[in-house]
Amino acid sequence: MNSNLWKKSVDFHGHECPGLAIGFRACEAVKEKLGLQFSTDEEVVCVTENDACGVDAVQVITGCTFGKGNLIYRGTGKMAFSFFNRKTGESLRLIAKPSKQDMDRQQRQDYILSAPIEEVFSFGEPSFQLPEQARLFTTIVCESCGEGAPEHKIRLQDDKKVCIDCFKAYDRGWK
What are the structural domains, with CATH classification, of the chain?
Answer: 3-124 (3.30.1330.130), 136-170 (3.30.60)
Among 71, 61, 76, 70, CA closest to 30: 61
From CA 149, how far away is CA 61, in angstroms rounded? 31
pLDDT in tens, the chain (175 residues): 899 999 999 999 999 999 999 999 999 999 999 999 889 899 999 999 999 999 999 999 999 999 999 999 999 999 999 999 999 999 999 999 997 778 899 999 999 999 999 999 999 999 988 888 888 899 999 999 999 999 999 999 999 999 999 999 887 777 6
**Residue 48: per-residue pLDDT:** 97
The residue type at 60: V
What gap in Å lies between CA 38 and CA 142, rounded to an integer? 38
Distance CA 89, CA 108 (A): 34
pLDDT at residue 109 in the model: 94
Say how far apart CA 34 and CA 31 lie, in whole Å: 6
Q: Which has the closest alpha carbon to 18: 127, 87, 141, 105? A: 105
Residue 64 has what pLDDT? 96
Residue among 86, 84, 111, 74 nearest 96 (CA)? 111
* pTM of the complete model: 0.82
Cβ atoms of 84 and 130 closer than 8 Å: yes
The count of C-alpha atoms lying within 13 angstroms of the C-alpha of 59, restricted to the half-sphere facing its C-beta, is 20
User: What length does the chain have?
Assistant: 175
Report which of 46, 50, 69 is spatially closest to residue 58, judged by C-alpha positions: 46
- CA-to-CA separations, 42 to 31, 34, 52, 75, 134, in angstroms, rounded: 15, 16, 22, 21, 8
pLDDT at 175: 63
| pLDDT in the model for residue 100 | 74
| pLDDT for residue 72 | 95
